[in-house]
Amino acid sequence: MKHLFLSILSLLLSLAFLAGCTPAAPVSAPEDTATATTTTMGAATTTDRPLGGVQLGFGAQTLYLWVDTDGAVALLNPCDEPYSGLALAGMPVADAIGLILETGYTSGDITGATTITHAPADSYNGFDVSGLDTQVQDAINAFVGTLASSGVSVSVSQVTQASTTMTIPPQLTTATTTATSTTATTSTTAQLMTGLDLKTKAATAMSDMYNSWWDGSTYSYYASGASTISDSKTDYVRNNILKTDHGYALGSAAAAANGFGGNQQGKLSMIWEFSQMTSDMYSFWMYNSDATTQTRMGQQYDFLLNSASTKAYTNILSSSTIYLGSGIAQAARVGQCGSNPNIALDDSTWDALYFMQVWHMTGNATALADTRTLILGAYDYYQDGNTGNGLWYPQYPPTHGGDSSSRFKSLYGAGMIAAAFDYLLAVGKANWDSTDQTLYDRTLAYYNWMEATLLRASAASVNSAGATGSQFTLPLTVTNGMAGTGATYTTPGTAQYADNLYWCTWLDNCTGYGEKNGPDGGSRSVLDIGEAGSVSSLGGNMAMALCHERLYKLTNDVKYLNRAVRTAQGLTNSPKYNKSNVLLADRDAWTDGFYAGMYAKEVLTLPGIRNADKNLLMNTAYVIANSCRVQNGGNYYYNADWRGTHVWQNQKNVPGMGDPLTIMTSGISANMIIAGALVEKMG
């Protein structure tokens, strides 16, 4: 049940595989054309990079405009650690001014760019225009002059420091890649990155996860009813992932330090937390058919099904209940939603995805059956009348006693669709029974709702005369969505922004958000995609690409292939998701990398996928493996600040989110590394 917390977090940070059809060559007409740059990788470097800047005072808000010697322009906010900013390079000056002035000049309006960091952490790292070439000074003067001529009151003063030391990730030499996504044909001069040795890095990541989270210890317990302790002693060998609470291993020092009690003898309340590691295991098994990982996946599922406990003497004077398995009752494990372990829609989603991973790796028929039962139960519980109207997200949706703050739906449900399509592919259409057909029909209706509602494409979010693509004329009266019917906007907004990615949250007369209807964050900048706060979701976009690809396998309809390619290209083309050829964990440092292995194997192997799309995931894997691996005690973990910042590690709004000592944060980053190795292997 993280989504509500994450949406609040976003606001706070904004304001302060299997049987199926063989893919056929696509034949339909083009929908969109995209261009990107990539090719081969160079070495990481550290350099003094001269920057020019001026301080701009907008009343009480102070922002810093800088221009580097390559002419890139950004606006920085000194309130964030490290700097976040709005990249303005290549944007018409008038549009840039509109973005600067939007909604009160708060830090959220300019969140996302992580072009530079400042050091030391407790001092301001400013920039001095003196001594820089004329081109840089002219660019600054022109920008400031345009602000003034637009009637903006700006106080200007120079700030000190002529350069800053930057660690620049491995860079790619530039080559142009052009692809038309609907025809899924490619014309490209880009080359796949080589020399990354992601095979070794993936093995290290999986080993690190096992060393930190796999419990293979022997526990000696003493069954009740025996006359003496020695007569009752039983040795039980554990083979399961450590039980966790908020990601911290129960009984660990990290759990205690963060206020979470319990121990490894207690009940396990949720599945979704350990699923962020079993997703690593599934990716690693897809990569190299590792026998140990396959065995352990079966052991973990056996552990889950084992709800048994034993009354045990812990010493001569006292007794306690020791759960040798998960302690999760069968009734709660499948089909029952709104309580542990299927509290909210996303919890049910991770659980269904996990059951399918178990089936793929072990062939366990119970896991396959569990998937269908759970998904249909989730549809019954969360649907808004029917799945064609979408699924509510919260534990208590409006249909089950929820108040007006529960009236929102989420891109997180894309994983439920992906799991349902995966189940249907596994069974095989020729073998479907009437319940399978019902599952397909209800899932397709949900998929169609999500595609029609959450896609950030032309005219997808609002209905407005004069709005075409990502350009529109102000004032703009929004007749469907945003803050409410008939709302009028006089500054550049986000209603028509087309990047072929997806909004994360959709509001339906909902209270407690910045908007009442439409996309959460829709009245803020559409580019409000940054670490620890985002109007979209990396994991959600990867999940939608999987939905498209699996529906293509089910139907052999080329339009779904085109949508999968379109989504992958959208991530690559995004100035926020793709920065220096490194992705970011934007919305959720506990789940954003969950789909990476499946995305790598199923989506990035489709016709029409560009080398640029593959390079982005491979380079991100390389950077995470080299920059995000941290040691604590004798084990290694992975943080989610993939671009070298400390944003996730420093956030305090969702306890533990971003902490590498949580199984979810380490798990998603490790999965990105393994996914990169999958791409490298498949070519």
Looking at the predicted structure, is the pLDDT value of residue 158 above 90?
Answer: no
Looking at the predicted structure, is the pLDDT value of residue 345 above 70?
Answer: yes
Strand bridging mode 240-241 / 214-215: antiparallel
Q: What CA–CA distance (Å, rounded) separates 349 from 352?
A: 5
Q: What CA–CA distance (Å, rounded) separates 491 from 165?
A: 37
Banded pLDDT at 276 (limits 50, 70, 90): very high
Question: Which range scores top for mean pLDDT: 63-77, 223-237, 618-632?
Answer: 618-632
Q: How many C-beta neighbours within 10 Å does residue 579 have?
A: 18
Q: What is the pLDDT of residue 440?
A: 98
395-442 residue pLDDT tens: 999 999 999 999 999 999 999 999 999 999 999 999 999 999 999 999
Average of per-residue pLDDT across 3-13: 35
Question: Is-contact 46 92, C-beta < 8 A?
Answer: no
Per-position DSSP letters for 256-285, written without gaps between them: HHTT----TTS----SHHHHHHHHHHHHHH
Average of per-residue pLDDT across 185-196: 66
Q: What is the pLDDT of residue 228?
A: 53
For the chain, give me the number of helices (H) and strands (E)?
19, 28
Closest to 253 (Cα-Cα) out of 671, 669, 659, 666: 659
Question: Is-contact 31 562, C-beta < 8 A?
Answer: yes
Question: Is-contact 522 494, C-beta < 8 A?
Answer: yes
Q: What CA–CA distance (Å, rounded) separates 559 from 571?
A: 19
534-581 residue pLDDT tens: 989 999 999 999 999 999 999 999 999 999 999 999 999 888 899 889
Closest to 425 (Cα-Cα) out of 565, 555, 615: 555
Average of per-residue pLDDT across 483-506: 56
636, containing H or E segment: strand 635-638
Q: What is the pLDDT of residue 59?
A: 34
Taking CA atoms, 152 is separated from 8, 155, 493, 549, in Å, by 32, 10, 19, 48
Q: What is the pLDDT of residue 681?
A: 97
Looking at the predicted structure, is the pLDDT value of residue 652 above 90?
Answer: no
61, containing H or E segment: strand 61-68
309, containing H or E segment: strand 309-313
Question: Which range scores top for mean pLDDT: 85-89, 112-116, 206-210, 324-328?
Answer: 206-210
The pTM assigned to this predicted structure is: 0.72
Looking at the predicted structure, is the pLDDT value of residue 653 above 50?
Answer: yes
Per-position DSSP letters for 545-567, written without gaps between them: HHHHHHHHHHH--HHHHHHHHHH
Q: What CA–CA distance (Å, rounded) separates 410 from 678?
A: 29
Helices (H), 16-118: 93-101
Taken as a whole, the chain contains a residue count of 683
Share of the chain above pLDDT 70, in %: 62
Average pLDDT along the chain: 72
Q: How many C-beta neighbours within 10 Å does residue 475 have?
A: 10
Region of residue 49 (left: phi > 0; alpha: psi -120 to 50; beta: else):
beta
573-587 residue pLDDT tens: 888 899 889 999 999
Looking at the predicted structure, is the pLDDT value of residue 355 above 60?
Answer: yes
- Please tell me the least confidently modeled range out of 320-334, 425-439, 630-644: 320-334
Question: Which range scores top for mean pLDDT: 123-137, 287-301, 652-666?
Answer: 287-301
Please identify which residue in the block is written with the tokens 């909210």: 344
Looking at the predicted structure, is the pLDDT value of residue 68 above 80?
Answer: no
Q: What CA–CA distance (Å, rounded) separates 225 from 367?
A: 36
Q: What is the pLDDT of residue 524?
A: 56
Q: What CA–CA distance (Å, rounded) separates 181 from 247?
A: 39
Strand bridging mode 518-519 / 505-507: antiparallel
* Residue of higher predicted confidence among 488 and 371: 371
Taking CA atoms, 425 is separated from 18, 189, 368, in Å, by 6, 35, 11
Question: Is-contact 285 266, C-beta < 8 A?
Answer: no
Looking at the predicted structure, is the pLDDT value of residue 249 above 90?
Answer: yes
Q: What is the pLDDT of residue 499?
A: 77
Question: Is-contact 135 70, C-beta < 8 A?
Answer: no
Q: What is the pLDDT of residue 235?
A: 79
Instruction: Go through the domains of the chain in sequence order and give each one's CATH number.
Output: 3-26+229-240+275-456+530-682 (1.50.10.20), 46-167 (no CATH)
- Please tell me the least confidently modeled range out of 206-215, 512-521, 655-664: 512-521
* Residue of higher predicted confidence among 488 and 168: 488
